[in-house]
Chain A
Amino acid sequence: MTTPVEPRAAPASESSARRHKLILAALVACTLVMVALALLPLGTGLKVGLVLTVATLEACLVAGVLMHLVEERKLIVSILVLTGIFFVGLLLLPILSEVDHARHFFK
């Protein structure tokens, strides 16, 4: 069996177990915080903003740590940045078309 040429060395057993316990705790905590925020009597805009921020944080943990993106090669990260730009554009698209409609001016 050839030795792996992976640039990342396999982490030592204990620190890896601890790392994953930490991540698990962080993800569970984020989830519970999201639920808690949603149940609080906050204004809609603020609630949406806060909940989605926590969701994004949770997503960054999954992507960065579990999917190894923090230590991933530049090529992959640049593909994802490009995709992210397209993704944001796609999300903005309906907002732009919605504020567009003439009916808003006649409301």
Chain B
Amino acid sequence: MSTHAHAMTIPYTVEPRPDTGLYNARLGLWLFLASEVMLFGALFSSYILLRVGADTWPQRQLSIPLGTLNTLVLILSSISVVMAWLSLKRNDFGRFKLWQGATVLLALLFITVKSFEYHDKFTHYYVQTRDGREMTGHLEGKPFNLSLARLQARPKPPAEITFYPDAPAHGPTAGRAAHPEALKLPLADLVKLEAFGPWRNTFYGIYFVLTGLHALHVLGGILVLGYFWGPGSRMWFTEPERFTNRIEVAGLYWHFVELVWIFLFPTLYLL
């Protein structure tokens, strides 16, 4: 009796099993996406609970033009990732490289815009003074994520801060030019100074968690898609069909990332 089991290999990695019509990775990825649906579902569920339970809910906190731009960027990247797969199905490796590369670049653009948005929030401040005034605006020099505690803990705390309040949304001075008057506020007068980070209120909390988790998924996608554009693409020359399947499956993941954004964008930016 032979002492080595050599004939057996793992079936259905490339050819689909007749009764299910699927190859392994496609079934596996859809199951993974099912778990991701529950992951983001739990976050959306938290959002609903927090919003329904809140007395007031901050709206229009985020830049709609930038959000729309990011949505269009992701839509384009979804199309390009499908085009990459189709190119492989037509044996056009050159086109595949083009479309896959475009997808990665668009994804990087998304992250760049998102970073810009995050930076904007962490340089935007809320102050409350002893006499009860509450204002939002920017600080001189646009420091990143300053807080009252951090200011006071400095070896030489400044006597006062230079604050540029935001133009009010309503009233006679609404819509004024974007260079408002600077306000000098003595440090001793300040009760609270915080950036618009997740701690600001539950809206910002859920915003950062939702978009942060989504951004992590985008980064993961960049790594995978980039790998398949680069070193991973060598498989095209040895096992083209298996490679095509991998691109399809990676594309499915990427579409899911876009799907999540399609709901994130209206929920956080528009409503």
Contact = CB atoms under 8 A, between A and B. Distances in A.
Nearest to A47: B271
Contact of A27 (B37, B75, B240): B75
A27 B79 CA distance: 10
Interface residues of A, number: 51
Contacts of A73: 20-22
Given A94-B48, A98-B53, A24 B76 contact: yes
Which of A7, A35, A75 neighbours the largest number of chain B CB atoms within 10 Å of its CB?
A35
A7 B41 CA distance: 32
Interface string B158-181: 000000000000000000000000
Given A66-B78, A83-B38, A75 B16 contact: no
A93 interface: yes
* Residues of B in contact with A, size category: 35 or more
Interface stretch (B82-90, B185-193, B219-227): B82-90
Contacts of B252: 67
B98 interface: no
A6 to B, nearest CB: 7
B132 to A, nearest CB: 28
A20 B72 CA distance: 15
A70 interface: no
Contacts of A34: 265-266, 270
Given A51-B266, A94-B45, A35 B64 contact: yes
Contact of A20 (B31, B49, B82, B270): B82
Nearest to A20: B79
A95 B46 CA distance: 10
Contact of B52 (A28, A66, A98): A98
Contact of B90 (A13, A24, A86): A13
Given A80-B34, A90-B38, A2 B49 contact: no
A94 to B, nearest CB: 3
Contacts of B126: none
A98 B42 CA distance: 15
Contacts of B27: 75-76
A5 interface: yes
A38 B83 CA distance: 32
Interface of B: 15-16, 20-22, 26-27, 30-31, 34, 37-38, 41-42, 44-46, 48-49, 52-53, 64, 68, 71-72, 75-76, 78-79, 82-83, 86, 89-90, 240-241, 244, 252, 255-256, 258-259, 262-263, 265-266, 270-271
Given A51-B271, A75-B21, 11 more contacts: A1-B240, A1-B241, A4-B89, A5-B15, A16-B86, A23-B79, A39-B64, A48-B271, A75-B20, A83-B38, A98-B53
30 contacts: A2-B241, A6-B16, A13-B90, A20-B79, A20-B83, A28-B75, A31-B68, A32-B68, A35-B64, A48-B271, A51-B271, A52-B266, A55-B262, A59-B259, A62-B259, A63-B255, A63-B259, A66-B78, A66-B82, A66-B255, A67-B252, A73-B20, A76-B27, A83-B37, A83-B38, A86-B38, A91-B48, A94-B49, A97-B49, A98-B53
Interface of A: 1-2, 4-7, 10-11, 13, 16, 20, 23-24, 27-28, 31-32, 34-35, 37-39, 47-48, 51-52, 54-55, 58-59, 62-63, 66-67, 73, 75-76, 79-80, 82-84, 86-87, 90-91, 93-95, 97-98
